[in-house]
C-alpha cells in the first residue's frame, strides 16, 4: 500500500472507531490509543484523571515506541478491520 492509500485507509479506520457507539474492550481500546498516538506523532502525556489509566496508557505507548509511523497506521487499520470483522 502506498503512502497516500495508507493515509486514506487510516483516516477511514479512525472514522469507523469514532462513529462506533458501543464500548470497546479495554485491551482493544489501549491498542487503538497507542497505535493512533504513534501514527499521528502525538506524544503528549496521558490526561486521565485516574492515575491507573494513565499508567496503562503510558505502558501501551512504551510498547509501540520502536515502530514507524506508517507501521502504526497499518497496525491500527488491521486492528480496526479485525475488530469489526469478528465482533458479535
**Is 80 a member of any domain?**
yes
39-69 pLDDT tens trace: 998 877 787 888 898 899 989 999 999 999 9
- Using pLDDT thresholds of 50, 70 and 90, give the confidence band for residue 88: low
Query: Which domain, by its residues, includes 45?
Result: 3-15+27-86
24-43 pLDDT tens trace: 999 999 999 999 999 998 87
Name the domain count of the chain.
1
**Is 38 a member of any domain?**
yes
pLDDT of residue 14: 97
**pTM of the predicted structure, to 2 decimals:** 0.91
Chain position carrying cell 479495554: 26
Instruction: Tell me how far CA of residue 88 lies from CA of 5, 19, 29, 82, 83, in angstroms.
Output: 29, 17, 17, 12, 10
For residues 68 and 56, the answer to whether their CB atoms sit within 8 Å is no
**Is 43 a member of any domain?**
yes
For residues 30 and 60, the answer to whether their CB atoms sit within 8 Å is yes
Amino acid at each position: 500500500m502506498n503512502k497516500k492509500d495508507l493515509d486514506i485507509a487510516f483516516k477511514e479506520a479512525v472514522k469507523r472507531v469514532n462513529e462506533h457507539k458501543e464500548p470497546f474492550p479495554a485491551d482493544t481500546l489501549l491498542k487503538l490509543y497507542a497505535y493512533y498516538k504513534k501514527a499521528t506523532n502525538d506524544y503528549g502525556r496521558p490526561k486521565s484523571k485516574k492515575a491507573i489509566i494513565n499508567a496503562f496508557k503510558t505502558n501501551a505507548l512504551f510498547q509501540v515506541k520502536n515502530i514507524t509511523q506508517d507501521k502504526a497506521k497499518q497496525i491500527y487499520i488491521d486492528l480496526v478491520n479485525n475488530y469489526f470483522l469478528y465482533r458479535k
